[in-house]
Amino acid sequence: MPKIVVLPGDGIGPEIVASAIEVLKVVAPDLEYDEHKFGGASIDAYGEPFTAATQEAVKNADAVLLGSIGGAQDSHWNTLPRHLRPESGLLALRKALGVYANLRPIKVYEGMEHLSPLKPELARGVDVLVVRELLGGVYFDPERWINEMEGFNAMRYKKHEVERIARVAFKAAQGRRNKVTSVDKANVLEVSEFWRREVVRVRESEYSDVALNHEYVDSVAMLLVTNPSRYDVIVTENLFGDILSDLGAVLPGSLGLMPSASLGDGAGLYEPIHGSAPDIAGQGIANPTATILSAALMLRYSLNRPEAADRIDAAILRALNENPTKDLGGSAGTQEFTQTVLQLLKETVSA
Ligand SMILES: NC(=O)C1=CN([C@@H]2O[C@H](COP(=O)(O)OP(=O)(O)OC[C@H]3O[C@@H](n4cnc5c(N)ncnc54)[C@H](O)[C@@H]3O)[C@@H](O)[C@H]2O)C=CC1
Ligand SMILES: CC(C)CC(=O)C(=O)O
Ligand SMILES: [Mg+2]
Helix axes 159-174, 190-206, angle to 10 degrees: 50
pLDDT category at 291 given cuts 50, 70, 90 is very high
Residue 274 has pLDDT above 60, yes or no: yes
Task: Give the residue, out of 38, 104, 255, 335, with the most ligand 1 atoms within 8 A of its beta carbon, to mutate for a pocket test.
Answer: 255
Cα 274 to ligand 3 centroid, rounded to whole Å = 6
| CB distance 271 to ligand 2 below 6 Å | no
Mean pLDDT throughout 297-317? 98
DSSP state of 228: G
Q: State how far the Cα of 32 lies from the Cα of 64, in Å rounded to an integer.
A: 12
b or e along 203-231 (b: 16 or more beta carbons within 10 Å of the residue's beta carbon)? beeebeebebeebebeebbeebeeebeeb
71 to 39, 67, 281, 293: CA distances (angstroms): 9, 13, 10, 24
pLDDT of residue 348: 77
Q: Is 351 exposed, middle or buried (0-12, 13-18, 19+ CB in 10 A)?
A: exposed
pLDDT per residue over 310-341, tens digit each?
Answer: 999 999 999 999 999 999 999 999 999 999 99
CATH class of 1-100+264-351: alpha beta
Structure-model confidence comparison of residues 348 and 121, the more confident one: 121
Residues making up the binding site for NAD(+): 275-287
| CB distance 269 to ligand 2 below 6 Å | no
pLDDT per residue over 150-203, tens digit each?
Answer: 999 999 999 999 999 999 999 999 999 999 999 999 999 999 999 999 999 999
Q: Which contiguous run of DSSP H or E holds residue 263?
A: strand 261-263
Q: Is the ipTM value over 0.95, yes or no?
A: yes
Is the fold of 1-100+264-351 the same as that of 107-254? yes
Contact 161, 144 (CB under 8 A): no
- Of all residues in the chain, the percent with pLDDT exceeding 90 is 97
Mean pLDDT throughout 63-69? 98
Cα 275 to ligand 1 centroid, rounded to whole Å = 3
Rg (CA), the chain: 20
Helix residue spans in the chain (DSSP H)? 13-27, 40-46, 52-59, 86-97, 120-123, 159-174, 190-206, 217-226, 238-248, 289-301, 306-322, 334-350
Q: State how far the Cα of 302 lies from the Cα of 234, in Å rounded to an integer.
A: 22
pLDDT of residue 116: 94
| Domains of the chain, residue spans | 1-100+264-351, 107-254
| CB distance 324 to ligand 1 below 6 Å | no
Three-state DSSP state, 176: coil
Q: Which CATH number fits domain 107-254: 3.30.559.10, 3.90.550.10, 3.40.718.10, 3.20.20.70?
A: 3.40.718.10
Contact 93, 101 (CB under 8 A): no
Q: Could you tell me the pTM of the whole model?
A: 0.98
pLDDT of residue 328: 96
pLDDT of residue 349: 65
Neighbours of 257 (CB within 10 A): 28
pLDDT per residue over 81-96, tens digit each?
Answer: 999 999 999 999 999 9
> Taken in order 187, 188, 192, 193, is the CA torsion positive or negative?
positive
Q: State how far the Cα of 185 lies from the Cα of 302, in Å rounded to an integer.
A: 33
